[in-house]
Chain A
Amino acid sequence: MTKRKGFMQRLLAAPYLVWAALFIIVPLIMVIYYAFTDKNGAFTFDNFSQIAAFTHTFTLSIWLGAVATVICLVIAYPLAYIMSRMKPRHQRFAMMLVMLPMWINLILRTYALMNIVADTGIINTMLSFVGLPPVHMINTQGAVVAGMVYNFIPYMIMPIYNVMTRIDPPVLEASRDLGGNFFQTFRRVIFPLSLPGIVSGITMVFVPSVSTFYISTKLGGTMALVGDIIEFTFIGETNYNVGASMSLILMAMILLCMLVMNRFTDGDEEGLIV
């Protein structure tokens, strides 16, 4: 019986295993291969020494990604908390509002944001309408961060909202019953119980923010982030080797950040999304 079940499970897992091998493992090996070889296929560390020139790009990418992640967390956490306390009907509606922008393509969303923050965009038109001086927003770091927050915030709201709804209401009542006021209940019960959701959310926002390449070119003007450089080395220069080594370093850095993050959840399964 158990043997049969084991076979069935393996059979059901097969499509994913094939997928994972073809589209995750093989490309990863190719990236590693390109990263350590030159144009003629000979082994070299040269690619990595060229990257030193892009230290600033790496720092900027991680910095902007981190800022966007923190802003997402600050906005999403209270929102997720409020949503989880709403009546079920209202919860479903609020969830739909959060998800709605994700039905629209990322490129369109970014274009929309360009129009909003442009020098002659919606915000500045409104400002001049009420007689205020225009504010230059597009092609700044702020605009890029706004783009990241705007595009990735649902990925922060959803995991936090999910853990919040799983907190049993009587547990919160127990805290109050035992003498905990709102802040003590938050600090000692709600926050620790929502930690896995926070870690998930940070992972799901930080990773795409750091490696984004479209948002930065559209909203940051001449600004280039790691993603843009990697894209350029592949598409523009067709220098796969440098591009691959940059990808590898980015991957290693993200992995390192995630390992640090996961320490907070004591190896709880939910934080391990990478």
Chain B
Amino acid sequence: MSEHIISLEGVTVAFDGETILDHISLEIQDGEFITLLGPSGCGKTTTLRILGGFVEPMSGRVYFDGQCINTVPPHKRQVSTIFQRYALFPHLNVYENIAFGLRVRKVPEAELCDRVEEALALVNLRGFEKRKIAALSGGQQQRVAIARAVVTRPKVLLLDEPLAALDLKLRKDMQVELKNIQQSLGITFVFVTHDQEEALSMSDRVVVMDGGKIQQIGTPQDIYNEPQNAFVADFIGESNILDGVMIHDGLCRFAGKECLCVDGGFGENTPVDVVIRPEDIQVVAPAEGMLSGLVTGSTFKGVHYEVIVDIDGFKWMIQTTACIREGDEIGLKFGPEDIHIMAKSEYSGMFGDYSSFSDEMDYIDDPAFNLSEEDELTEGGEDRVD
């Protein structure tokens, strides 16, 4: 068996002339928990549907265990999917839902019964065999979906935003439980989500996607600490992203100041994007700070205050445990290791300032900007009848 259970090579998908995936290449290792993370319309669900066999790439190749599976139909693939809204069979009870994959494989009755019970035990649903699907809570339906998918012993489990429909606390429990299930089964999980916290806390590796392209692949720590461009920095956690110039290795200039930093290799006098995370900034007296400005907003968040500071028209975000009030004059201080330098990209200048948190807020009073239209060319891209 090759180390890579799945490889995508230059996979491109377009629906109605709209490019959904643009030359995606990705290698998934056997046994890893990998997450496809991105906003709606980024192509993450389409990527998952390619792996499941529901979308055929226009160009590029998909390999499973070294075999090209571009044209293999879903029912002949060794993968199982957990669908967004579970897609349980409404006419079958819990037992028969889970047994489905075994029945179509004509598994003998005795073995079938053992395996269904084993799957029920895995998701802690023993005793629910005869229940109707409609009589189950969202969390229970979720568990039936997991049991139904793993009972056929797939090599790879595909999960399409499986936790999106659950409430916050249950979602956190299920994050832990899914991770445990993955470890006890030892199979590969490909997880799709738009929730960055979910991605960071569950995954071995995260694939950040936007606009049909992979923006960055790495461990959760890599993705957070070393974002490759302004999109990743903005999407994962909070970031102040500033226009800067790399004077030479170890020295950069931004916000009108020259600062020491630890990054290098960008050449001399190269325009760059500078990222400083809100939690890395220390609040000091205005005179002691490297920068200073007027507080325009302060929100209590429990663990910390989220403070917005206006410095020469750029709104910085700072997270601090000190009580700061609107109208205060404060100084900002950070060390060389708190400054992260990124090469300029197509996303430069699109993010970084905290005048508003979301793109939608920037356009919300503009009737010409249609956000929902963007959403429509996303997931699957098929005409669905609802």
Contacts and interface: CB of A to CB of B under 8 A. Distances in A.
Interface of A: 84, 87-88, 91, 165, 168-171, 173-181, 184, 188-189, 192-193
Given A170-B83, A170-B84, A188-B100, A177 B89 contact: no
A188 B103 CA distance: 10
Contact of A178 (B84, B85, B152, B385): B152
Nearest to A177: B81
A13 to B, nearest CB: 28
Interface string B263-289: 000000000000000000000000000
Nearest to B74: A176
Interface of B is mostly: loop
A84 B385 contact: yes
Given A88-B383, A175-B89, A193-B90, 8 more contacts: A171-B90, A174-B83, A177-B74, A177-B79, A178-B80, A179-B104, A180-B104, A181-B75
Contacts of B130: none
B101 A178 contact: yes
Given A170-B84, A188-B103, A177 B385 contact: no
B91 interface: yes
A200 B54 CA distance: 33
A83 to B, nearest CB: 10
Please list the 6 inter-chain residue pairs (A to B) with the smallest Cβ-Cβ separation, ordered nearest first.
A170-B87, A178-B101, A174-B87, A176-B74, A180-B104, A177-B81
B325 to A, nearest CB: 47
B52 interface: yes
B257 interface: no
Contacts of A91: 385
Interface in B52-79: 52-54, 73-76, 79
Given A174-B81, A188-B103, A179 B87 contact: no
User: Which of A91, A173, A174, A184 has the most chain B CB atoms closer than 10 A to its own CB?
Assistant: A174
A179 B84 contact: no
Contacts of A188: 100, 103-104
Given A165-B385, A174-B81, A179 B90 contact: no
Nearest to A196: B91
B105 A179 contact: yes
B384 interface: yes
**Which of B87, B103, B384 has the most A CB atoms < 10 Å from its CB?**
B87
Interface of B: 52-54, 73-76, 79-81, 83-85, 87-91, 100-101, 103-105, 148-149, 152, 382-385
A177 B83 CA distance: 10
Contacts of B382: 169
A192 B91 CA distance: 7
B80 A177 contact: yes
A17 B128 CA distance: 43
B155 to A, nearest CB: 13
Given A88-B383, A88-B385, A188-B104, A177 B85 contact: no
A109 B42 CA distance: 55
B134 to A, nearest CB: 13
A36 B80 CA distance: 66
Contacts of B103: 188
A169 B76 CA distance: 19
Given A171-B87, A173-B87, A180 B100 contact: yes
A184 B76 CA distance: 13
B104 A184 contact: yes
Contacts of B385: 84, 88, 91, 165, 169
B100 A176 contact: no
Contacts of B80: 177-178
B105 A170 contact: no
B335 to A, nearest CB: 50
B89 A169 contact: no
A154 to B, nearest CB: 20
A173 B74 contact: yes
B142 to A, nearest CB: 14
A271 to B, nearest CB: 14
Contacts of B105: 179
B77 to A, nearest CB: 8
Residue of B89, B383, B384 ringed by the most chain A CB atoms within 10 A? B89
A263 to B, nearest CB: 16
B74 A168 contact: no
Nearest to A171: B87
25 contacts: A87-B383, A88-B383, A91-B385, A165-B385, A169-B384, A170-B83, A170-B84, A170-B85, A171-B87, A174-B81, A174-B89, A174-B148, A175-B89, A176-B54, A177-B52, A177-B79, A178-B148, A179-B104, A180-B75, A181-B73, A188-B100, A188-B104, A189-B89, A189-B91, A192-B91
A192 B149 CA distance: 21
A219 B85 CA distance: 53
A169 B90 CA distance: 13
A188 B75 CA distance: 14
Nearest to B49: A173
Contact of B89 (A88, A171, A181): A171
Contacts of A175: 89, 100, 104
